[in-house]
Amino acid sequence: VSGSRVPDPVSVQGDEVAETFLRGRLRILQKKRGYRFSLDPVLLAARVALKRGDRVIDLGTGSGIIPLLLAARHETGAIVGLEIQERYADMARRSVALGGLAERIEIRRGDVRDARIEFGPESFDVATCNPPFRPVGTGKVNPSDEKAIARHEVAGTLSDFVAAMRYLLRQRGRAHLVVPAARLVDLLAILRGARLEPSRLRTVHPRPGSRAELALVEAVKGGKPGLTVEAPLVVNGDGEGYSDEVAAILSGDRP
Amino acid sequence: VSGSRVPDPVSVQGDEVAETFLRGRLRILQKKRGYRFSLDPVLLAARVALKRGDRVIDLGTGSGIIPLLLAARHETGAIVGLEIQERYADMARRSVALGGLAERIEIRRGDVRDARIEFGPESFDVATCNPPFRPVGTGKVNPSDEKAIARHEVAGTLSDFVAAMRYLLRQRGRAHLVVPAARLVDLLAILRGARLEPSRLRTVHPRPGSRAELALVEAVKGGKPGLTVEAPLVVNGDGEGYSDEVAAILSGDRP
């Protein structure tokens, strides 16, 4: 996203680059090829408020970008990142080590569909997820491809991720998800069906006056109906470069 | 809304005023007291595109504002307005007469819950609705009060209105609704449950940077999932008065 590339002789492997975030305070490894994160998890992480003692789980954590941003931004919070692909889990662990965040972030290899085996019920206060969003059957999918697992619903559908959130969150615990705007109805209906009641929605538009590409949704386990639709988030300004708000999010000056 | 008040000795009763719309091309009667329409139906009507021969029904038409705006704006289309309260139906009929639109608009007194008695199945191409949006049990409700019937879900819930739309629309027919933003999840879930698939969403914000107050939703009977989230509609400009877009809608220069 923002990043200049800073190779590290110790922890960065040949097929990886280290992207810098938060004015250089954080470096996150990602693959040069294969699935690469975009702005989605950065915008999602910026919406999560943590209170002292909050236990957080990020489902399908990939490079670990959401746990890393949360730990770098908040002084409190114990965060677990769950990732099905060992190659990504290993890379995420090395980013955690690079940032000296091993005491606060645990990266665990595991399948969201096995959340009941991995964790106890209601054991988290906050759950985050930037799910693989493309239904199987759209676009080319090779189920053995690691990129496909990160992008498509091969290893867990939106419903699987939401079901895991429901199991893992305590009552009144908060779920944060980001999906393509086209899947907003799916997400809202699935959340309500799981009694994770959508409480806040913010749509993300590439520029002023354009359609939304993403939807950021917060839901509360056992919450009452009543959605707050926030002002839209515009990514690019009228001129070149990011809007002031997105620039502030990327630099860590905000929230 | 926009209107200057132009009393008419023939058709305007003592408890009514005639509001002008579309640079004076249209006058619509409404009660001085009791339920008064706001911007919601005006914004909804501006989203409806009509093709030659389209049959349109507006459910819970009240003052008839949506049929009147559609007929004034489009040269084609036969429009039925269904209203449960005779006092409002009568007033709507007089607005139709005032505008010389009786050949294109029929105002019928009837209950949306009896749509199957009033009309044949799949007998409309387009259905519109600015439903009474407050669930019974919120705020003060007197079920015998005509204002309550227009505002609360006394004479039909959101589900009742959507069920009537489903029955009345042909396959691929389009439903247009406006609801408070807080009820967006309700509406989307109910539409999908009725196989009226939400296709377009536009949120309405009082001013730039503020939360949405309304949500304008279009759905297609038997449509495929995949929502388009449009750029938000901002009602007030940065300075005083309406934004350019809303001013153009009110003047009839746009949709």
Residue B153 per-residue DSSP state: G
CA nearest to A245 within chain B: B209
Of A186, A210, A229, the CB nearest to B184: A229
Q: Residue B200: pLDDT band by 50, 70, 90 thresholds?
A: very high
Q: What is the mean pLDDT of chain A?
A: 88
Side chain identity, residue A211: R
Higher-pLDDT residue of B138 and A241 is A241
Identify which of A22-31, A142-151, B49-58 has the greatest average pLDDT: B49-58
What is the rounded CA–CA span in Å between residue A29 and residue A89? 11
CA nearest to A193 within chain B: B189
pLDDT, position A10: 52
**pTM confidence score:** 0.89
Q: Residue B42: pLDDT band by 50, 70, 90 thresholds?
A: very high
Q: What is the ipTM of this complex?
A: 0.87
Chain B contact set for A230 (CB, 8 A): 211-212
Contact state of A185 with B188 under an 8 Å Cβ cutoff: yes
- Contact between B35 and B137 (Cβ < 8 Å): no
The answer on pLDDT for A144 being more than 60 is no
Q: Residue B140: pLDDT band by 50, 70, 90 thresholds?
A: low
Strand B214-221 relative to strand B228-229, pairing? unpaired
The 10 Å CB-count burial string (b at 16+, else e) for B30-43 is bbeebbebebbbbb
Average pLDDT over residues B141-157: 62
The answer on pLDDT for A184 being more than 80 is yes
What is the rounded CA–CA span in Å between residue B46 and residue B24? 17
Token output for B240: 């005083």
The answer on pLDDT for A7 being more than 90 is no
Q: Residue B41: pLDDT band by 50, 70, 90 thresholds?
A: very high
pLDDT, position B4: 53
Of A184, A198, A232, the CB nearest to B227: A184
pLDDT, position B31: 84
pLDDT, position A240: 79
Contact state of A227 with B192 under an 8 Å Cβ cutoff: no
pLDDT tens digits, one per residue of A54-71:
999 999 999 999 999 999
pLDDT, position A21: 86
Contact state of B185 with A232 under an 8 Å Cβ cutoff: no
